[in-house]
Amino acid sequence: MIYFLLTIGIIFIIFLSFTVCGLWLRYINTKVIKFFLLPGTIVHELSHALLCLATGTTIKELNLFSPNTTGIKYDRPKIPGIFDFIITSAPVFGCAAFIFFIPKIFSNPVHFDIGYPQEFYVTFSGFLGSLSYLFNTVFNNLIVFKEQLHIGSLQHILFLLAIIIFTVSFAPQKQDIKYLVIGFGILSGVIFLVEKFGIRLSNYRWWKFCIKEFWAATTLTLSVLVSLLFITLCIMGFLKVYTLIVRRKGSSTSKGFGKSARKGNND
């Protein structure tokens, strides 16, 4: 069940990062946002490029520092579908790797609970229990952020900015979402069947370590993205209400001047 749980977490990350990044680019100065996200964008695009080379896919164009746009263009992969998923999923693991190293670079300023979830039975109640565990872990991370993050500390500020940059940089292109959702769903199903047929990947220490750390990166990313989306929507709502109030006041003032002018003409 852990593989399905990770898949659900990744799918949430895909849609949340896509939404947050889209809102920022739409309502904030695009050049400012692109400059802020540049480190994550470089990792995102280089991850695509690396997997293009690994799959023998020809890279037609790679822009990392262009003032107008950044991105990669490549030919149709030799094995459509499978290679499409491999290339489009590369930034998920690339950004996750940086989220794994960022706390260590800043000497773990915030200590998260990275407890590995226990296996759940493959039943409807087990599925609900696993979802509950995922949401509880994300919520607990938010509490840890609130209690341990000190805005007055430069180390904590740099840690927070780095985490934000690489979580938002998960955001895929719109056309890539279908490959990611379907691909990760199939991948989790294949790994689950492999384990069911007696090949216990979890018995390998390196595999267990990778899954545990990927789980930690997934829940941390979800916690940050949920917070960013909530804050973004609150700010947008406040600005929308403020704009409506200003317009209404301006309209009332204009009407008042109009009445005064007409009254003066009648006199």
Type of residue found at 218: T
Average pLDDT estimate for 225-248: 87
State whether residue 70 is helix, strand or coil.
coil
Mean pLDDT computed over 194-198 = 79
Listed in sequence order, the residues at least 6 apart from 79 whose beta carbon sits closer than 8 Å to its beta carbon are 55
Contact 167, 95 (CB under 8 A): yes
Annotated domain spans of the chain: 2-266
Which of 126-130, 195-199, 217-221, 239-243 bottoms out in mean pLDDT, i.e. has the lowest?
Answer: 126-130
Query: What's the rounded Cα separation, in Å, for the pair 41 and 19?
Result: 16
Q: Please tell me what DSSP assigns to residue 65.
A: S
Task: Supply 30's token pair.
Answer: 């695009």
Could you give the angle at which helices 2-27 and 177-196 cross, rounded to 10 degrees?
170
pLDDT in tens, 44-57: 999 999 999 999 99
Letter for the amino acid at 182? I
Mean pLDDT throughout 141-151? 83
Tokens, residue 91: 């930034």
Q: Residue 20's pLDDT is what?
A: 94
Tens of pLDDT, residue by residue over 96-138, are 999 989 988 888 888 776 666 666 656 666 667 777 777 888 8
Q: Tell me which of 252 and 74 has the higher pLDDT.
A: 74
The mean of the pLDDT values for the chain is 84
CB contact burial 78-98 (16+ within 10 A = b; e otherwise): eeeeebbbbbbbbbbebbbbb
pLDDT band at 147; cut points 50, 70, 90: confident
Residue 65 sits at φ, ψ, to 5 deg, of -125, 20
Crossing angle of the two packed helices 124-148 and 2-27, in degrees rounded to 10? 50
Question: What is the 8-class DSSP label of residue 169?
Answer: T
**Structure token digits, residue 243:** 């704009």
CB 155 within 8 A of CB 104: no
pLDDT band for position 267 (50/70/90)?
Answer: very low
> Best-predicted range by mean pLDDT among 11-15, 105-109, 254-258?
11-15
Q: Tell me, what's the pLDDT at 138?
A: 84
Q: What is the pLDDT of residue 122?
A: 60
